[in-house]
């Protein structure tokens, strides 16, 4: 047999056929196990030999984790459903096109065919100091190497940094928060449901993980309620390259207008903090107002209040302000600033 | 690990997280699939798994158990896209070509230019020959042109015929 050049670290591979078996395995191995979904995030960690798990649990064989079900006007999407399947799904396109737009802008067609929704929302941060093998605060050390006077930190956080300035890179995460989705999590003690906006956690709460999943839990499904079905959606992702790249800032909004006034709104921005940032103050401000330039202006200003920039990422403040403004103007509005 | 490779059933004994790319090149001796970046950016290693293009450098072999894999060799050199890439200069240095062609196969029958751009968004061509690649795909997929315009196209190109051997020589040199 030929020599394997890209030597993987030594570990046990498990391919459980049911969620229960997967949880048993995770419960047994605890933090020594790595969960593999589409593998796009995990493979990098393994290839770079930066994570050396004793066990890898591949969820690919679990049929119950795949597929999209319709539920009472909403949807339940299995965590292992590929992004491309979500983009193609007729109900997603018709009622929750915000998620379709977000999923369609993830990476490249090849990656969307393999990458899963559960993986996209649960992926680790892309901070290159952390992923480059630096023993930073997030990797178990003391220092955030992205937050020193000489750091290259153009893609890092402008909100809620707490000894770590990494951001959440997901595109589908803000869309799910805007759609008021909830995450179905299964562990040894049974199932628990967490609202999407509480699924992600910042460095102030726990530096070792980006979401609430305990080492012996898995995300099994994402439920989208009918709350925001058919609302006016807006999604925009700004990145250096028009394909493949992660977002510098992205915005997802769902707005319901009755008469001339906004009656319901959810607005979320990602890649500005370690968690998707729901702009509750902006939502409160714009409810009852018309969807016009004046509202957009006020919302934009309010959205970026309290932003703290690093040496190279001050551009994210006007970028985020303008994205929020554009989200309020809505799709098809003429771009003015 | 068992899977169907280009229509033939294969059984491979390999490390379960060995990349599909390495299994194809090393265990199956099919070197048509190229490695570019090894991290999913360039798409040179694109193969079809159950008809959908994926980056074989990011697919552990464990994940394709029971699947149907198609590589560039599976088109057996007879696919109209392969001829079109030769005819219209869609292949320059050639390293992106197998991935490009497989991503183009997955586009289906008659993609518009926009669909081609989106569908090939995950494939980089370092020679930057994108226009020629779109032209190659267009030549195959738009049947109207195949019946009528292709000849005209060829006639129009015959003026630049002198150029063609030169490119060939450039490649061999």
Convert the pLDDT of each residue in A78-114 to its tens digit.
Answer: 999 999 999 999 999 999 999 999 999 999 999 999 9
Average pLDDT for residues A111-125, to the nearest whole number? 97
CA distances A202 to A157, A177, A314, B88, Å, are 11, 16, 21, 52
Give the best residue of B35, B40, B107 to mutate against chain A (max A CB count within 10 A): B40
In this prediction, residue B170 carries a pLDDT of 40
CA distance B170 to chain A (A): 31
Whether B87 maps to a domain, the answer reads: yes
Question: CB–CB of A151/A157 below 8 Å?
Answer: no
In this prediction, residue B1 carries a pLDDT of 87
- Residue B46 maps to which CATH number? 3.10.20.30
Cβ of residue A260 closer than 8 Å to a chain B Cβ: no
Contact A6 B19 (CB under 8 A): yes
Cα–Cα distance, A12 to A146 (Å, whole number): 34
Contact B39 A44 (CB under 8 A): yes
In this prediction, residue A214 carries a pLDDT of 96
Residue A331 binned pLDDT confidence (cut-offs 50, 70, 90): confident
Report the SS3 class of residue B56. Answer: helix
For residue A17, the tally of other CB atoms under 10 A from its CB is 11
Contact A60 B63 (CB under 8 A): yes
For residue B165, the tally of other CB atoms under 10 A from its CB is 9
Cβ of residue A148 closer than 8 Å to a chain B Cβ: no
Half-sphere exposure of A104 (CA within 13 A, CB side): 16
Residues of B in contact with A58 (CB under 8 A): 60, 62-63
Whether B170 maps to a domain, the answer reads: no
Residues of A in contact with B122 (CB under 8 A): 107-111, 243-244
DSSP character string of A189-225: TEEEEEEGGGTB--TTT-TT-SBS--TT-EEEEEEE-
> In chain A, positions 79-98, which contact chain B (CB-CB < 8 Å)?
84
DSSP character string of B96-128: SHHHHHHHHHTT-S---HHHHHHHTTT---TT-
Question: CB–CB of B107/B119 below 8 Å?
Answer: yes
Residues of B in contact with A14 (CB under 8 A): none
Cα–Cα distance, B143 to B109 (Å, whole number): 9
Using the predicted structure, report yes or no on whether residue A46 has a pLDDT greater than 80.
yes
Question: CB–CB of A167/A157 below 8 Å?
Answer: yes
Residue B25: give the domain boundaries.
Answer: 2-158
Average pLDDT for residues A330-334, to the nearest whole number? 71
Cβ of residue A109 closer than 8 Å to a chain B Cβ: yes
Using the predicted structure, report yes or no on whether residue A125 has a pLDDT greater than 80.
yes
In this prediction, residue A51 carries a pLDDT of 86
In this prediction, residue A336 carries a pLDDT of 44
Work out whether the CA dihedral A237, A242, A243, A244 comes out positive or negative: negative
Pairing of strands A55-58, A12-14: parallel
Contact B122 A114 (CB under 8 A): no
Please give the residue of chain B at the shortest CA–CA distance from A59.
B63
Domains of chain A: 12-58 (3.30.43.10), 231-329 (3.30.390.50)
The contacts found for A45-51 with CB under 8 angstroms, 24 or more apart, are A45/A124, A45/A131, A46/A8, A46/A9, A46/B17, A47/A6, A47/A8, A47/B38, A48/A131, A48/A133, A49/A9, A50/A131, A50/A133
Residues of A in contact with B24 (CB under 8 A): none
Please give the residue of chain A at the shortest CA–CA distance from B59.
A39
CA distance A320 to chain B (A): 26
In this prediction, residue B147 carries a pLDDT of 52
Whether B172 maps to a domain, the answer reads: no
Print pLDDT tens along chain B (173 aa). 899 999 999 999 998 889 999 999 999 999 999 999 988 999 999 999 999 999 999 999 999 999 999 999 999 999 999 999 999 999 999 999 999 999 999 998 889 999 999 999 999 999 999 999 999 999 997 654 555 445 555 555 544 444 444 444 444 33
Cα–Cα distance, B52 to B105 (Å, whole number): 9
CA distance B142 to chain A (A): 22
Cα–Cα distance, A26 to B168 (Å, whole number): 57
In this prediction, residue A333 carries a pLDDT of 65
Whether B81 maps to a domain, the answer reads: yes
Whether B163 maps to a domain, the answer reads: no
Residues of A in contact with B121 (CB under 8 A): 108-109, 242-244
Report the SS3 class of residue A237. Answer: strand
Q: Which member of A4, A36, A40 has the closest CB to residue B18?
A: A4
Whether B89 maps to a domain, the answer reads: yes
- Among A95, A131, A125, which Cα is nearest to A247's? A125
For residue B154, the tally of other CB atoms under 10 A from its CB is 12
Question: CB–CB of B46/B53 below 8 Å?
Answer: yes
Whether B51 maps to a domain, the answer reads: yes
Count of the separate structural domains present in chain B: 1
Structure confidence by residue, pLDDT tens digits, A179-208: 999 999 999 999 999 999 999 999 999 999
CA distance A245 to chain B (A): 9
């Amino acid at each position: 047999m030929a020599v394997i050049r890209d030597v993987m670290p030594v570990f046990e591979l498990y391919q459980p056929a049911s969620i229960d078996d997967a949880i048993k395995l995770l419960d047994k191995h605890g933090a020594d196990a790595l969960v593999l979904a589409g593998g796009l995030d995990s493979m990098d960690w393994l290839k770079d030999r930066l994570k050396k798990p004793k066990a890898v649990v591949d969820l690919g064989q679990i049929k119950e984790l795949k597929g999209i079900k319709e539920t009472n006007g909403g949807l339940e999407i299995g965590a292992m459903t590929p992004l491309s399947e979500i983009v193609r799904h007729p109900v997603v396109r018709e009622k929750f096109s915000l998620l379709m737009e977000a999923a369609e802008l993830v990476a490249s067609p090849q990656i969307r065919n393999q990458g899963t929704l559960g993986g996209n929302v649960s992926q680790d941060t892309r901070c290159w100091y952390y992923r480059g093998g630096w023993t930073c605060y997030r990797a178990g050390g003391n220092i955030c190497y992205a937050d020193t006077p000489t750091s290259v930190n153009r893609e890092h956080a402008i909100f809620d940094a707490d000894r770590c300035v990494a951001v959440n890179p997901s595109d589908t995460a803000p869309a799910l928060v805007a759609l008021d989705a909830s995450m179905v999590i299964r562990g040894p003690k049974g199932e628990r449901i967490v609202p999407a906006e509480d699924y992600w956690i910042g460095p102030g709460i726990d530096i070792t993980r980006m979401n609430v999943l305990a080492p012996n839990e898995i995300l099994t499904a994402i439920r989208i309620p009918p709350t925001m079905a058919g609302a006016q959606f807006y999604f925009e992702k700004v990145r250096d390259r028009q394909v493949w790249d992660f977002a510098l800032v992205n915005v997802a909004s769902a707005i319901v207008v009755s008469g001339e006034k906004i009656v319901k709104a959810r607005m979320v921005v990602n890649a500005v903090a370690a968690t998707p940032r729901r702009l509750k103050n902006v939502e409160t401000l714009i409810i009852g107002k018309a969807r016009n330039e004046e509202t957009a202006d006020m919302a934009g200003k309010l959205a970026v209040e309290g932003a703290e920039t690093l040496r190279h990422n001050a551009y994210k403040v006007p970028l985020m302000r303008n994205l929020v403004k554009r989200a309020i103007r809505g799709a098809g509005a003429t771009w003015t600033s | 690990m068992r899977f169907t490779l280009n229509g033939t059933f294969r059984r491979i004994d390999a490390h379960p997280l060995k990349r599909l790319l390495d299994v194809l090149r090393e265990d199956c001796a099919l070197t048509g699939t190229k490695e570019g970046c090894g991290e999913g950016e360039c798409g040179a290693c694109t193969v079809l798994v159950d008809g959908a293009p994926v980056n074989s450098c990011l697919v552990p072999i464990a994940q394709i158990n029971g699947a149907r894999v198609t590589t560039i060799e599976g088109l057996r050199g007879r696919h109209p896209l392969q001829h079109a890439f030769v005819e219209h200069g869609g292949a320059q240095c050639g390293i992106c070509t197998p991935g490009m062609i497989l991503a183009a196969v997955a586009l289906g029958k008659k993609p518009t230019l926009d669909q081609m751009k989106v569908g090939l968004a995950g494939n980089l061509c370092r020679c930057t020959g994108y226009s020629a690649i779109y032209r190659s795909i267009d030549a195959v997929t738009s049947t109207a042109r195949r019946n009528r315009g292709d000849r005209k196209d060829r006639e129009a190109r015959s003026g630049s015929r002198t150029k063609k051997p030169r490119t060939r020589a450039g490649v061999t040199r």
